[in-house]
Amino acid sequence: MVSQENKEIILDLSSQEIQVVDDGHGCFWTQFSNKRYEILKTLLGKVYDFFGALSHYDFVLTDGLEEAISQVVKSHYQRHMFSSGKCHIITSSNMPSAFLQALDELKIFGVEVSYIKYNANGLLDVDHLKSIINPRTSLISMMWAHPITGVIQPLHDVTELCRSHDVSLHVDMTGAIGQLDISMEDTGIDYMTFSCTKNSKNYAGIIAKPLMQLMPLICGYGIQKLKGGDFNLEKLEALSKCLDLLKEDLYGRILEKTTIKKQLVSQFKQTLPESNVLFETSETLPSVLVLSWKAFHSEHLSYLLMGKNIAVSIGGYRFPALKRILLEMGIEDKTAQSAICLNLERITLEDLPKILTAFVEIQLSYKRGGIS
């Protein structure tokens, strides 16, 4: 049964109806009943709707972003690069570490990797990208918006280049979820990966156009032909709820975070003139603010701020360290070494005085020589 009461989907998984399927190798496995298939279709419809994808696109519910990215990279190599000889991939050095590691593995098989240059405004250099595309280029991989720098990339320009050179496009949407209106169909993306977190639980997956002929990373039985094993319908339900919450009043939330960000930047400039807000001339995610304060090293400043219950990021977990990303953009060393990322997702207008006070207290302690 599917209920829309309170905008939740309630699954009735008690049905004992089963269908037995032969996998062609003498093995048999049970398939969802018709009732559960209807539930599955409803949940998948919500996922496709959120990402602006057509219902016949391939979808894989993965156990994390790392699995999703690995499946895209290895599938594309097997389906499109191995037989064609087009063994050149263009990407960015600030991609998730799982993607960069997957490319390192492919280099053993003769795959060549080129890296896109970025300018000091955080934007990829479209002219440079155009110059490194060659007849052997098979895939361009990028993030629409980086979750640490927050800079929104010129996706339309990249899509046009891909189409004119017959190159496939993979875009990771992790940074954009809940902050930008995503439409896979309108943007011309071939592979899309994503990861989102709600209540400390992570949900990730892949959506790919059928022409990409996505291959399973994990083979075996199951109704999800692109991933072996039991299909986790409950996890898909949880992902659907997560996306519903992110979609709800999306534009109102964007406006609210944009307002908070503008006020915070204005107050920083008035109260902390030694600080420097990065990427002001670029379009950025509404809930990401990158700030440098040359009096402090980024690790030291993040430690002091977290001691005042203000969450910041300097990268280095799933993504390269922020200072490394900035240095590769040509940003001067002292600015890069002192940069932090403030995530405004859970910050309200009422929190702004607390944030500003924390920075002022750190500044005063520094001037008195009381910070160690």
The CATH number given to 17-247 is 3.40.640.10
CB–CB of 327/298 below 8 Å?
no
**pTM metric for this prediction:** 0.87
Share of the chain above pLDDT 90, in %: 61
pLDDT category, 363, cuts 50, 70, 90?
A: confident
Q: What confidence score (pLDDT) does residue 197 get? A: 83
Q: What confidence score (pLDDT) does residue 18 get? A: 44
Average pLDDT of the segment spanning 341-353: 91
Q: What confidence score (pLDDT) does residue 33 get? A: 60
Render 64-122 in DSSP notation, one character per residue. Answer: SHHHHHHHHHHHHIIIIITTT---EEEE-TTS-HHHHHHHHHHHTTT-EEEE--B-TTS
The CATH class of 250-367 is: alpha beta
Q: What confidence score (pLDDT) does residue 7 get? A: 36
Q: What confidence score (pLDDT) does residue 34 get? A: 67
Q: What confidence score (pLDDT) does residue 224 get? A: 64
DSSP category for residue 6: G
Q: What confidence score (pLDDT) does residue 221 get? A: 60
Domain boundaries defined on the chain: 17-247, 250-367
Average pLDDT of the segment spanning 136-151: 95
